[in-house]
A and B are shown apart, each in its own frame.
Chain A
Amino acid sequence: MMSDLVRQHFHEPCFIGILPAGPKVIRVEIDSPATSRHIIFSIEVEQSRIVQARHLVRGCPYTIATFSYLANWCYGQMLVNLTSMTRAFLIDQLSLPATKVHCAAMAEDTLRQLYLQWENT
Chain B
Amino acid sequence: MHTTIYLDYMATTPLDSNVLEAMLPYLQELELAGNSGSTHDLGIKALKAVERAREQVSLLINAEPESIIFTSGATESLNLAIKGAAEFHQRKGKHIITTQVEHKAVLDTCQYLQQKNYEVTYLKPDSEGIITAQQVAGALRDDTILVAIMAVNNEIGTIYDIASIAACIEHHQAILVVDAAQAAGKIPLDCKAIPIDLLAISGHKLYGPKGIGALYIRRKPRVRIAAQMHGGGQEQGLRSGTLPTHQIVGLGKACELARQCLDSEPTFIATLHEQFIQAFADIPHIKINGATKARVPHNINISLQGIDAEALLAGLPRLAMSTTSACNSIVNQASYVLKAIGATDRDALSSIRISLGRYTTPAEVKIAAEQIAAEVIRLRKIAPR
Contact = CB atoms under 8 A, between A and B. Distances in A.
Interface residues of A, number: 29
A102 B379 CA distance: 21
Contacts of A10: 311, 314-315
A21 interface: no
Contact of A59 (B308, B330, B345): B308
Given A10-B314, A102-B329, A60 B308 contact: yes
B332 A35 contact: yes
B346 interface: yes
A36 interface: yes
A40 B327 contact: no
B344 interface: yes
B384 interface: yes
B329 A99 contact: yes
Interface string A73-111: 000000000000000000000000011111000000000
A102 B331 CA distance: 11
Contact of A36 (B308, B329, B381): B308
B306 interface: yes
Nearest to B380: A58
A25 interface: no
A64 interface: yes
B183 to A, nearest CB: 31
B382 interface: yes
A10 B382 CA distance: 11
B381 to A, nearest CB: 7
Contacts of A101: 329
Which of A33, A35, A57, A99 has the most B CB atoms < 10 Å from its CB? A35
A39 B383 CA distance: 8
Interface string A10-31: 1101001010000000000101
B329 A35 contact: no
Contacts of A51: none
B72 interface: no
Contacts of B308: 36-37, 58-60, 63
B19 interface: no
Contact of B307 (A31, A40, A56, A58): A58
A39 B315 CA distance: 19
B310 interface: yes
Interface of A: 2, 10-11, 13, 16, 18, 29, 31, 33-40, 56-61, 63-64, 98-102
Given A58-B308, A102-B329, 11 more contacts: A13-B382, A33-B345, A34-B332, A40-B384, A56-B383, A57-B382, A57-B383, A58-B382, A59-B311, A60-B314, A64-B382
12 contacts: A10-B311, A11-B315, A33-B344, A34-B332, A35-B349, A36-B349, A57-B383, A60-B311, A61-B311, A63-B308, A98-B329, A99-B330
